Structure 1
Amino acid sequence: MDLSIASILALDGLTNGAIYALLALATVLVFTVTRVIFIPQGEFVAFGALTVGMFQLGRLPGTVWLLLAMALLVALLDLLDGLRARQLPSALFRQLLRTLALPLLASAAAWWIAPRNSGLIVQALVTLALVTPMGPLVYRLAYQSLAGASVLVLLIVSVGVHFALTGLALLAFGAEGFRNPSFWDARFSLGPLTISGQTFIILAASSALIVSLYLFFERSLAGKALRATAVNRLGARLMGISSESAGKLSFTMAAFIGALSGLLIGPSTTVFYDSGFLIGLKGFVAAVFAGLASYPLAAVGAIGVGLLESFGSFWASAWKEVIVFTSILPVLLWRSLRDPHSDEE
C-alpha cells in the first residue's frame, strides 16, 4: 500500500464515518433519554433512500401508506385513551389534529409531486417530511406504554420493531434496490485524490447537523429539557418535564437523522429494503465505543469505524463486516472491567 492508496481509503473511511457519526449520535440520544437501544435506527435510513428512489421513478412511495396507517392507528389509540379519561371533546380534537396533521400534509405533498418531474431537492424535502413523523409514531405504538420497563425488555421490543419495519419495507418498496442520483456531480482533484461533490455534501451536511445538535442542546429550552431527562428522568419529571414528550422528541430527531443519512448515502450505494440494518448497526458500534453516553466520543468512534471498514475492505474485502463488528468485543470487555455494573444496570 502506498500513500496514494492510503489517502483514497482514508477519504472513503471519513465519508462513511460521517454517516455513521449521525447514526451514532441518534442512537446515543434515544438511549440517554428513553433507555431504548434503538436497533431500528437503520430502517429510517432505508426508508429515506428508497422513498427518493421511488420518486425518481415517478411512483408514489409506499412510505405514504405506511405513514398514514401508523398515524391512523395512533389516532385510534389516542381516541380510546381520551374516552377512558373522559377528556373534553375540544381537547380530544386537538390531540387527534396534532397526530394526523403532519402525516396528511406530507402525504398530500408526496401525492402531488410523485407523477411530476420534481427536482431532487424537492423530493428530498418531501422525503424528510414523510419519514420524520414516523419517529414519534413508532414511539407511541411500541415504547410509550413500556417507558418504565427494564432495558432488556425495551431491547426485546426494539428487535421486534426492527423485524416489523423490515417486513413493512419489503411490502412497501419491494425487493428491488435503488441507487439515487448525486446532489452535486462535480469532481475535484487534490493530488492523488479525486473528491466528488457528493463527498463534500456528506461532510458538510454531517458537520452542519452536528453543530446544530450542539446548539440545540446548549441554547434551546427543549434541548435542555432533553438533557435533564437524560441525566435524571425522575428529577426531570418532578420539575414538570414530560417524559412522554421527551421520548417523542428524541424519536422525532432520530427519524430525521436516519432519513437524512439515507438521502446522503443513497447516491453512494444501492439500498435495499433490508440494507438499513447493517448501516445502523455500524452506527451502534460507534455508539458503544462511547458507552452510549458521550456524543463527542460517539462521533470519534464513528470515524474510527469508517476507517476500519475502509482499510479492512482493502486488505480482506470478504471479511470487512466481521472486522468491524468484532472490534466491539475488546471495547465491551474493557468497559466491563473498567466500570462494572449490576445486572439491571
Structure 2
Amino acid sequence: MDLQIALLLAQDGVTNGAVYALLALALVLIFAVTRVIFIPQGEFVAFGALTLASLQSGKLPGTLWLWLGMGAAIAIIEVLKALRERQLRRIPLIVLVNCGVPLLLAGLLFAVSPATFSLPVQVCLALLMVVPLGPMIYRLAFQPIAEASVLVLLIVSVAVHVTLIGLGLLFFGAEGSRTPAFTDASLQIGDVLLQGQAVLVVVSSAVLIVALYFFFERTIYGKALRATAMNRTGARLMGISTTMAGQLSFTLAALIGAFSGILISPVTTIYYDSGFLIGLKGFVGAIIGGLASYPVAAAGAVLVGLLESYSSFWASAFKEVIVFTLIIPVLLWRSLTTRHVEEEE
C-alpha cells in the first residue's frame, strides 16, 4: 500500500464514518431519552434513500401509504381517547394531522408526477414522508410501554425492525436502487482526487451535527431532551412531558436516518434491508460512546468507518468481522471499569 492508496482509503473511511456518526448520535439520543435500544434506526436510512429513488423514477413511494396507515391507526386511538375524555374539539385536528396531510400529499403526487420536480423538492418530499414515521412508531409501539424494562423495550424494538424489513420488501421489492450523483465536481489535492459527492457527505454530516449541538444547547426543546436524558423523574417533576421528549427524540432520529440515507443514495446501491448493516455499524460507534457520550460515539463511528475501509483493502472477505470485533474489547473494558447496578423494578 502506497501513500496515495492510503489517502483514498482514508477518504472512503471518513465518508462512511460521517454517516455512521450521525446514526450513532441518533441511537445515543433515543437511548438516553427513552431507554430504547432502537434497532430499526437503519430502516430510516433505507427508506430515505429508496423513497428518493422512487420519486425520481416517477413512482409513489410505499412510505406514503405507510405514513397514511400509521396515521389512521393513531387517529383511531386518539379519537377514542378524546371521546372518553369528552374533548370533542380535538377530533378534527387529530384527523387532519394524522390522515389529512398524507392524503393531501398523495393527491398532489397523483396530479403531478414527482419526477418533474427539482432535486431539492424531491429531497424535501422524501424527508416529509419518512420523518413522521419516527414519532408514529414511538406512539404505537413504545409510548404504551414507556415505563417497561430495557429488555422489554429491546424485544419490541426487534419486532419493529422485523416488521419494517418486511414492509420495505413489500414497498420497494428485492432490487436495489441508486440515485444520480448530487454533484459531479471533484477536487485535486496533490496526488489525491477528492470526489465532490464524498465531500458533500462529510460537510452535510458536519453541518447537521453542529445544528444538533446548537439545538441541544440553545433551544428550550433541546434542553428539555437533555433534562429527560439526565433524570426522567426529575424532568417530569419540573413539568417536562416525557411523552413529548420521546416523540421528539424519535422525530430527530428519523430525520437523521432519512437524511443519511439520502446522502449515501448516490454513493452505494441501497436495498430494502441495507439499513440493518449500516445501522449496526452506527451502533458499534454508539457502544464505544457507552450509549451516553455524543462526542465519543461520533469519534467511534469515524473509527469504524476507517477500520472498515482499510479492512476492505487488506482482508475484504473479513471486513465485517473485523469491524464488529471492535465491540468486544470495548464491552470488556466497560464491564471491568463500570460499577454494575441492578435495574429497579
Specify the TM-score bucket, using the shorter chain as the normaliser: over 0.9
Q: Residue by residue, what CA displacement relative to the aligned partner does 1:181-237 show, whole Å, maximum 9, x if unpaired?
A: 111111221122211111121111101100100000000000000000000001111
Structure 1 CA distance, aligned partners of 2:321 and 2:218?
41
Structure 1 CA distance, aligned partners of 2:57 and 2:213?
37
Deviation at 1:56, TM superposition (A): 1.9
> Which amino acid letter does the alignment assign opposite residue 19 of structure 2?
I
Contact 1:20 1:286 in 2 (8 A): yes
User: Could you tell me which residue of structure 2 aligns to residue 36 of structure 1?
Assistant: 36
Deviation at 1:108, TM superposition (A): 4.2
Contact 2:57 2:115 in 1 (8 A): no
Q: Which stretch has the larger CA shift, 131-140 or 49-58? A: 49-58
User: Could you tell me which residue of structure 1 aligns to residue 249 of structure 2?
Assistant: 250
Contact 2:216 2:223 in 1 (8 A): yes
User: Could you tell me which residue of structure 2 aligns to residue 64 of structure 1?
Assistant: 64
Structure 2 unpaired stretches of 5+ = none
Structure 2 CA distance, aligned partners of 1:164 and 1:305?
28
Contact 1:135 1:248 in 2 (8 A): yes
User: Could you tell me which residue of structure 1 aligns to residue 198 of structure 2?
Assistant: 199
Task: State the TM-score, normalizing by the size of structure 1.
Answer: 0.96
List 4+ stretches of structure 1 deviating above 6 A.
none
> Which amino acid letter does the alignment assign opposite residue 129 of structure 1?
L
User: Could you tell me which residue of structure 2 aligns to residue 319 of structure 1?
Assistant: 318
Task: State the TM-score, normalizing by the size of structure 2.
Answer: 0.96
Structure 2 CA distance, aligned partners of 1:319 and 1:109?
47
Q: Residue by residue, what CA displacement relative to the aligned partner does 1:91-143 show, whole Å, maximum 9, x if unpaired?
A: 23333334335434444454455454222221111000100000000001100
User: Could you tell me which residue of structure 2 aligns to residue 121 of structure 1?
Assistant: 120
Q: Residue by residue, what CA displacement relative to the aligned partner does 1:306-332 show, whole Å, maximum 9, x if unpaired?
A: 000000111111111111111101100
**What is the correspondence of 1:230-245 to structure 2 with a 5 Å cutoff?**
230-245=229-244
Q: Residue by residue, what CA displacement relative to the aligned partner does 1:257-310 show, whole Å, maximum 9, x if unpaired?
A: 000000011111100000000001100110000000011111101110000000
Structure 2 CA distance, aligned partners of 1:333 and 1:250?
29
User: Could you tell me which residue of structure 1 aligns to residue 23 of structure 2?
Assistant: 23
> Which amino acid letter does the alignment assign opposite residue 25 of structure 1?
L
Structure 1 CA distance, aligned partners of 2:4 and 2:218?
43
Contact 2:114 2:122 in 1 (8 A): no
Structure 2 CA distance, aligned partners of 1:106 and 1:289?
41
User: Could you tell me which residue of structure 2 aligns to residue 6 of structure 1?
Assistant: 6
1:6 to 1:81, Cα distance in 2 relative to 1, 3 A: same
Structure 2 CA distance, aligned partners of 1:304 and 1:31?
21
Contact 2:56 2:114 in 1 (8 A): no
**What is the correspondence of 1:181-220 to structure 2 with a 5 Å cutoff?**
181-220=180-219
1:114 to 1:320, Cα distance in 2 relative to 1, 3 A: farther
Question: What is the identity percentage for the equivalent residue pairs of Structure 1 and Structure 2?
Answer: 60
1:71 to 1:194, Cα distance in 2 relative to 1, 3 A: same
User: Could you tell me which residue of structure 2 aligns to residue 330 of structure 1?
Assistant: 329
User: Could you tell me which residue of structure 1 aligns to residue 279 of structure 2?
Assistant: 280
Q: How many residues align?
A: 344
Contact 1:179 1:268 in 2 (8 A): yes
User: Could you tell me which residue of structure 2 aligns to residue 89 of structure 1?
Assistant: 88
